[in-house]
């Protein structure tokens, strides 16, 4: 972890695509053994545990280091969590997120609380008044929260059976509280499709079925949204000609979970052939990496990164 003791970090995140300057990249070091079925957090991990194909630590470390090298190539300051022995710390997006100059601590699954403690060295560089801890009743994870200039897009699930879904991570209490924190922004929430057992019918987070890219484009998967009119709102907002619609299998493989270094540079998985071809045809520079092992835990590039500063 590269630290600048005595200096304060000026957080700045207005959207998903402005030029990245500082980021927390998770770590797969000391990731621990394959979890027991009852300890898995999502249906895709369960699928791979049952099949005996759950990813190996050494493979995941290699995948994440390739991303770190791309950040280095583009002059991005990269922070890494302090390593906790035998503990999954890959998905740094879940534990906190930045909007404007505020870092908001996510209220995540209780079993994962130590992940936040592991970035204490970074949080120490942020003015205390800019570190927000939400009330306990607000459930939220960073994968559901997308600042987009005047808007904040938030994935949620408000069904009465919310408590029955381990895959339901952000509730309406959090949506309301974030709107109160940022009264000058328009908070737009989207009901997501949830499943504890079928990964192809589960949008774990908003970034599993949607992501803005560039200045005015987006990746989208219709079936990830429970309410068709909410999906249609995004189509109308970005314009159908600016949207890359992904299939059910492409959503399962996390095609919407790429990561923008800038408005014209994107890190993407090397197997996303159809998407990467479309991106290049639309003027993007695509930095390809292998992330197939990380993806087995129902997370990809956006999930494992937490942007702190964009221009």
pTM over 0.85: yes
pLDDT score for 6: 47
* pLDDT score for 276: 98
Question: What band does 7 get if pLDDT is binned at 50, 70 and 90?
Answer: low
CA triplet 106, 128, 15: central angle to 5 degrees? Answer: 55
Tens digit of pLDDT for each residue in 233-269? 999 999 999 999 999 999 989 999 999 999 999 999 9
Domain ranges for the chain: 20-310
Q: Quote the pLDDT of residue 90.
A: 93
Return d(Cα 63, Cα 301) in angstroms, integer.
Answer: 10
Which 3 state secondary structure label does DSSP give 3?
coil
Task: Output the DSSP codes for 153-211.
Answer: EEEE---TTGGG-TT----HHHHHHHHHH-TTSEEEEEEBP--SS-GGG---SGGGTEE
Which whole number is the average pLDDT over 51-70?
92
The pLDDT > 70 percentage for the chain reads: 90
Question: Looking at the predicted structure, is the pLDDT value of residue 159 above 80?
Answer: no
CA-closest candidate to residue 70, choices 303, 305, 249: 305
Which has more confidence, 38 or 256? Answer: 256
Average pLDDT in the 261-284 region? 98
The whole-number pLDDT of residue 5 equals: 44
Q: How far is CA 91 from CA 24, 64, 165, 200, 295, in A?
A: 10, 11, 20, 20, 11
CATH match for 20-310 among 1.10.606.20, 3.40.50.720, 1.10.600.10, 3.75.10.10: 3.75.10.10
Q: How far from each other are the two terminal CA atoms of the chain, in whole angstroms? A: 22
Question: For residue range 69-112, what is the model confidence (pLDDT) as tens digits?
Answer: 999 999 999 999 999 999 889 999 989 999 999 999 988 767 77
- Confidence label for 160 from pLDDT (cuts 50, 70 and 90): confident
Residue range 47-63: mean pLDDT, rounded = 88
Residue 173: pLDDT band with limits 50, 70, 90: very high
pLDDT category, 2, cuts 50, 70, 90?
A: very low
User: DSSP H helical segments within 23-171, as ranges?
Assistant: 43-51, 57-73, 114-117, 120-123
- Residue 298 is given by DSSP the state S
Cβ–Cβ < 8 Å for 108, 41:
no
Q: What is the pLDDT of residue 42?
A: 65
Q: What is the predicted pLDDT for the residue at 31?
A: 82
In the predicted model, is pLDDT for residue 152 greater than 50?
yes
pLDDT tens-digit map of 188-222: 999 998 666 666 666 778 999 999 999 999 999 99
Residue tagged 């009264």 (tokens): 183
């Amino acid at each position: 972890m590269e630290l600048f003791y005595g200096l304060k970090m000026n957080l700045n995140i207005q959207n998903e695509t402005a030029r990245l300057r500082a980021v927390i990249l998770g770590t797969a070091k000391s990731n621990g053994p394959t979890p027991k079925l009852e300890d898995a957090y999502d249906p895709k991990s369960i699928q791979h545990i049952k099949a005996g194909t759950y990813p190996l630590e050494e493979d995941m470390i290699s995948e994440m280091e390739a991303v770190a090298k791309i950040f280095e190539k583009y002059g991005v300051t990269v922070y890494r969590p302090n390593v906790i022995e035998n503990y999954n710390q890959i998905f740094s997006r879940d534990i906190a997120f930045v909007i404007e100059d505020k870092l908001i601590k996510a209220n995540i699954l209780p079993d994962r609380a130590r992940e936040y403690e592991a970035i204490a060295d970074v949080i120490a560089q942020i003015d205390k008044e800019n570190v927000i801890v939400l009330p306990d009743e607000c459930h939220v994870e960073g994968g559901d929260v997308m600042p987009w200039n005047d808007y904040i897009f938030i994935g949620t699930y408000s069904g009465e059976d919310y408590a029955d879904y381990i895959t339901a991570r952000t509730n309406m209490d959090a949506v309301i509280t974030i709107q109160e924190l940022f009264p000058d922004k328009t908070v737009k929430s989207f009901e997501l499709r949830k499943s504890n057992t079928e990964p192809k019918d589960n949008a774990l987070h908003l970034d599993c079925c949607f992501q803005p890219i560039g200045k005015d484009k987006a990746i989208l998967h219709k079936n990830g949204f429970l309410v068709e009119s909410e999906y249609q709102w995004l189509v109308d907002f970005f314009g159908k000609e600016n949207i890359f619609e992904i299939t059910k299998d492409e959503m399962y493989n996390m095609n919407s979970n790429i990561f923008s270094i800038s408005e014209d540079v994107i890190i993407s998985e090397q197997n996303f052939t159809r998407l990467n071809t479309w991106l290049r045809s639309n003027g993007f520079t695509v930095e390809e990496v292998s992330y197939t092992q990380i993806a087995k835990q129902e997370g990809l590039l956006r999930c494992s990164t937490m942007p702190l500063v964009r221009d």
